[in-house]
Amino acid sequence: MLFPEIEPNEKGMLNVSPLHSIYWERSGNPYGLSVLIIHGGPGGGSSPSYRRYFDPKKFNIVQFDQRGCGRSTPHSELEENTTHHLIEDIEKIRQLLKIESWHVFGGSWGSTLSLIYAIQHTEKVLSLTLRGIFLCRQHELTWFYQKGASEIFPEEFDLYQSVIPLNERGNLINAFHKRLTSQDRSERTQAAHAWTRWEMSTSYLKPKELSINKATNDNFSDSFARIECHYFINNIFLEENYILKNINKLKGIPVSIVQGRYDVVCPMRSAWDLNKALPTSKLYVIDNAGHSMKEIGISKRLIELTNELANSFSNL
């Protein structure tokens, strides 16, 4: 169902500040429709599998690792790591590659950052293809990290909160942040594993061991947990409900939303709210799916949408 595996045509490190360097790569057809893939987390890093959702003969596919994760350096760094910095980095990559405007594709936190980028740089965005909508409102964070998803996956939630003393469980994000920024490496690693396992174990309709096992990778879990927690304790460095408050700026952009009905990480309410606030958007609900883009129904719909994109824009 996915397009064949391909290697990048071009890759590099972009110095975006004296501290941070961003890894980027380009694959597919350099003369095709330019698309930017924005990964999740924050702190998840991009993956070669993401470009397999695009026909490499028709798309100029750009990927990058956000600050502090994947192949970007320094690893797990929280200094100079905010939503504003990430938006600036996207623009620097676009300018480096001499791309006038592009299609944007992102899921989970990638949907958040895609929407914020489109709000702030509307003229640079040709379309948005989004999956697993996360608007980063306070109740969404509470649902997943404190009380909500806990009622659906109680056994995994107990493992998640087990690394936090009982007297600190009233605010788990705060408690995890304290440990993920600790100088005690063993405490930090234990917290990173627990935080990462919680998300990996709830991302599919039927949990997958391969996904859960990512939590035991110290390198991945450290950047994933630290950077996510850093953003969420700071409310992603934006005012509450920033995206919906600025949604009118997206009225001229084609927006497609793919949402798993049983997404526990980013429940369907957020996709519903986005679609209602942006009536020109198209919402595709996948009834037999959870959160991951690898869920069969979600993958199928995303590929259908990127094929439609290639056909509609190549005919202009």
Instruction: Give catalytic residue positions.
Output: 108, 263, 291
CA distance 110 to 58: 22
Which residues, at least 6 apart from 251, have a Cβ–Cβ distance to it below 8 Å? 278, 280
Do the Cβ atoms of 2 and 303 come closer than 8 Å?
yes
Residue 102: strand, helix, or coil: strand
Do the Cβ atoms of 177 and 210 come closer than 8 Å?
no
Q: Which of 291, 285, 228, 232 shows the shortest CA–CA distance to 264?
A: 291
Neighbours of 11 (CB within 10 A): 14
Instruction: Look up residue 272 and give its two tokens.
Output: 């519903």
Rg of the chain (C-alpha set)? 19
Instruction: Look up residue 214 and give its two tokens.
Output: 């990512």
CA 115: distance to chain centroid? 11
Q: Which of 247, 243, 257 shows the shortest CA–CA distance to 137?
A: 243
Q: Which of 86, 125, 139, 124 shows the shortest CA–CA distance to 256?
A: 125
Helix H segments across the chain?
A: 83-96, 109-120, 138-145, 154-161, 172-180, 185-200, 209-212, 218-233, 242-245, 268-277, 296-314
Residues in the chain: 316
Q: Which of 307, 308, 271 shows the shortest CA–CA distance to 286?
A: 271
